[in-house]
Structure 1
Amino acid sequence: MRYCFFLSCLFISLSSWAQRKSTSAESTLQIPSKQTPSKQTKLPSEKLTSTWAIGISTTTNSGIIGGFSFRRYWLNEGKSQSFAQIDADIIKDYREFTSPYSYNGRSYIEGKLNQLIVIRPEYGRRWTLLQKSAEGGPALKGIFTTGPSIGLQKPYYVDISYTNTATTQTTTLAVPYAKTLDNSYPKAFIIGDASFLNGFSEVKPVPGWHVKSALNLELESFKQNHMSLELGFCLDYFTKPIEMLNQTEGRGVYTTGYLTFFFGKSH
């Protein structure tokens, strides 16, 4: 009986010791896993408030480069945006033609009396017609603008070869083309176009108004830079006819088709 009681106590003691050993070993072998806190913090997205763009144009009433534009948009959450713009364009008469006579390869416009430079400050609206897809790509915008037209009527200058009858000395002069028609320089002949800068001191301003409508294809943007192509139509009305060609009635209304390449930045 005592022997059985002794065995029972020994068994209970061994079981308790084994249980404590197992618990100790388990706590020793288990290494708590380290949880690295996430360091990714999202910066608040910057909201674009405005966009500026510089444009180079070619028009139906000019050469390859017909003018320059500066435009600024005020962006909002809607599908339309307001913008302000200023243009500086050269307008030519559709009846102009280059003289068939040339001197050393130089040419000039036959019968041209005045050049017309137009400054157009304007206010406009832009509407989104086709939005960009989620993967990117172009967007199509509709454009309408209006504002004053400031016409600068500048005399057209040509270089002439003129022989002074008093001194028999031959000189080259830059004179208004109109002076070659009124016998101011007898026995002179035209060499070619003079510098475009000649005649700015004789500019006459002619006020007017204009309207423009266009489609703007906004190309894929990179970072905050963007490019777009704009194809449109402009109508200028001036308060008095502008005489541009000799023996040709002046006009007060000019219509122009244009294509402008814009490059700009948003911020």
Structure 2
Amino acid sequence: MKQALPKYVLALLLMPSLIWAQRSGSPSTTTSPNQIPSKASNSAKTPNSNAGTSSFVERGTWAIGLTTTTNSGIFGGFNLRKSWNKNPSRQPIIGLDIVNLKDYREFTSPFSYNGRSYIEGKLNNLLIVRPEFGMQWMLFKKSSEGGAALKGILATGPSLGIKIPYYVDVSYLDPNSGRTIIKSIPYTETMANSPTGRSVIVGEGGYFAGSGDSKMVPGWHLKSGFDIELNTIKRNYLSLEVGFIVDVFQNPVEILNQTSPRSVYTTGYLTFFFGRTY
């Protein structure tokens, strides 16, 4: 009995170690740590996948345009426009046009001085500012594979005409000093019986040379046209608009000498718009 007692004591001391070794070596019935992150990652991927598949909803557009008209040169002015796409078939728009309007009977004088020219008989420049509100209707939508869309446009608003005297540079002989002087004067003074009136026109002056003597002529306008929205990349916006504008002013505006002043001016226009959707 005295020799067997140490064996039992040794067995009692080793039993906790054996039980712990058996538990650590046996397969666990609970979820492994490697599986828990995979579930978390799957749940984390779900909202990302939904966000990736969600399409961009276009709320509207901002655009700036460069325009040419039948009553202007190659560059007739520029435009600003904003639209809202609450209704896919009909969108309200607001815009601002700033254009230079000319009389269709204007012609460049055949006489020039050192290659400079001027408009024969022109009395005033007419700058028009047109704030407007209107509507555009979807006529043909873009196909699923891309392409162009066609919209019809109808807009109206006030026409703020700014009548600026047309200035020319003249060369004349100063009777006091006997020297040749070049001066910028209104074209109306070249027709007067004065020292500058008996001068030689050497070319036109600056467009805003007579801005200090400009006068405001209020009016109203109506615009109708077609807008061709081109296929773009990402959120860029490109379109080509062609149409017709009627300006009606409160008072007749005289642009050329020896022609009847008019209150109604009609204009065909072509505008290239570029901007962004939001």
Q: TM-score with structure 1 length normalisation?
A: 0.85
* Alignment-mate amino acid for residue 235 of structure 2: Q
Asked if the contact 1:70–1:86 (Cα under 8 Å) also holds between the matched residues in 2, the reply is: yes
Q: Does 1:42 align with 2:53?
A: no
The one of 221, 235, 239 equivalent to 1:228 is 239
- Segment drifting more, 192-201 vs 205-214: 192-201
Deviation larger for 192-201 or 147-156: 192-201
The answer to whether the Cα contact below 8 Å between 1:163 and 1:187 also exists between their aligned partners in 2 is: no
Query: What code does the residue aligned with 1:59 have?
Result: T
Other-structure match for 2:23: none
* One-letter code aligned to 1:204: K
Q: What corresponds to 1:134 in structure 2?
A: 144
- Distance in 2 (CA, whole Å) between partners of 1:186 and 1:55 is 42
- Give CA deviations for 1:133-192 in whole Å, capped at 9, x if unaligned: 001110000000000000101000011112111111211111100010012314310001
Partner of 1:74: 84
Aligned in 2, Cα 1:81/1:186: closer, same or farther, shift over 3 Å?
Answer: closer
Q: Which runs of 5+ in 1 are unaligned?
A: 1-26
Mapped contact 1:159–1:172 kept (Cα < 8 A): yes
Aligned to 2:220: 209
Which AA in structure 2 matches 1:263? F
Count of aligned pairs between the two proteins:
237
Q: Is the alpha carbon distance of 1:220 and 1:113 closer, same or farther for their aligned partners in structure 2, counting shifts above 3 Å?
A: same
Q: Which residue of 2 aligns with 1:176?
A: 186
Give me the whole-angstrom Cα distance separating, in 1, the residues matched to 2:245 and 2:154.
10
1:245 and 2:221 equivalent? Answer: no
Structure with greater proportional helix content? 2
Q: 1:207 to 1:139 in 2, by over 3 A?
A: same
- Matches of 1:186 and 1:210 in 2, distance apart? 38
CA-based RMSD of the aligned residues comes to 1.8
Amino acid at match of 2:245: C
Q: 1:64 aligns with which of 69, 74, 86?
A: 74
Aligned in 2, Cα 1:77/1:249: closer, same or farther, shift over 3 Å? closer
Aligned-partner Cα distance in 1 for 2:150–2:87? 17
Q: Separation in 1 of the partners of 2:222 and 2:94?
A: 14
Distance in 1, Cα, partners of 2:212 & 2:197? 25
Query: Secondary structure in 2 aligned to 1:41?
Result: helix
Single out whichever of 71-80 and 151-160 deviates more from structure 2.
71-80
Tell whether the 8 Å contact from 2:142 to 2:148 is kept in structure 1 after alignment: yes
8 Å CA contact 2:159–2:247 kept in 1: the answer is yes
Q: Is the 8 A contact 1:215 1:232 kept in 2?
A: yes
CA distance in 1, matches of 2:135, 2:245: 15
- Among 186, 202, 219, the alignment partner of 2:230 is 219
Report the secondary structure of 2:96's partner residue.
Answer: strand
What displacement does 1:121 show? 0.4
Q: How does 1:46-195 map to 2 (within 5 A)?
A: 46-184=56-194, 185-195=196-206
Distance 2:60 2:183 in 1: 50
CA positional deviation for 1:95: 1.0
Distance 1:187 1:88 in 2: 36
Give TM-score scaled by structure 2 length: 0.81
